[in-house]
Amino acid sequence: MSISDYNGVSMCAMTGKNCVAIASDTRLGAQAQTVSCDFQKIFRMGKRLMVGLPGLATDVLTVSQKLTYRCNLYKLKEEREMRPTTFMNAVSSLLYEKRFGPYYVEPLIAGLEEDGTPFIASTDLIGCPLVTTDFVVGGTCSEQLYGMCEALHNPDMGPDELFEAISQALLNAQDRDALSGWGGVVHIIEMDKITTKHLKARMD
């Protein structure tokens, strides 16, 4: 088993029309043993920007704190919030700095540009970015998530339709993975608000 898979996680982000959603499970495990059912894996980095960190739980906490620090520093220096593309470059830079002893996380970035254009991206554990226009997935059940997201994603979905699509993709994919699940959380980012909804999932 890869060290990245040790704690188990399923996570995905999906675009809609002037909105974007990011979702993850809530399980924290130690291989097959469940430790907690309310572990936070998605973090808010700006008014319309969030990052999800699938990977080793200790590195999730470390990287989230380092990214919060860099965002706050940027805000103080520049007197404005980081744009999603700028944030992706900051994440990439942070991970590449540690490439010889990497943080075992593969971040998913979801946000809205100033004009409302949805932005989603992911990177690998040394910071190589992948920018796409439909969906990105990560974690121990990424193969199942690819299939579900391919089947359920449509262009130009509204916030409610997007919530339904990403929720069904997450719940059905994590049911096929023993290392993730036990609940879910979905954040829908719109121009004027971020809506957070909690999902009940199978607890077996």
CA atoms within 13 Å, Cβ hemisphere of 188: 19
pLDDT for 181 equals: 84
Q: How far is CA 84 from CA 16, 28, 32, 33, 178, in A?
A: 16, 28, 35, 36, 33
Residue of higher predicted confidence among 188 and 5: 188
Strand partners, 52: 42, 108
β-strands 10-15, 135-139 pairing: antiparallel
- Model pLDDT for residues 74-127, shown as the tens digit of each residue: 999 999 999 999 999 999 999 999 999 999 999 999 999 999 899 999 999 999
143 vs 140: CA distance, rounded Å: 8
- pLDDT at 2 exceeding the cut of 90: no
Look at residue 66 in the predicted model and tell me its pLDDT.
97
pLDDT at 20 over 90: yes
Q: What tokens does 52 get?
A: 């999800």
Whole-number Å distance between alpha carbons of 143 and 61: 25
- Please report the pLDDT score of residue 188 as a whole number: 97
The model's pTM is 0.93
- What mean pLDDT, rounded, does the chain reach? 93
Per DSSP, which regions of the chain are E strands? Answer: 10-15, 20-25, 28-30, 33-36, 42-46, 49-52, 108-112, 118-123, 129-132, 135-139, 184-189, 194-199
pLDDT of residue 59: 95
Read off the pLDDT of each residue in 44-73 and give the average, rounded to a whole number: 95
Residue-wise pLDDT tens digits, 23-40: 999 999 998 899 999 999
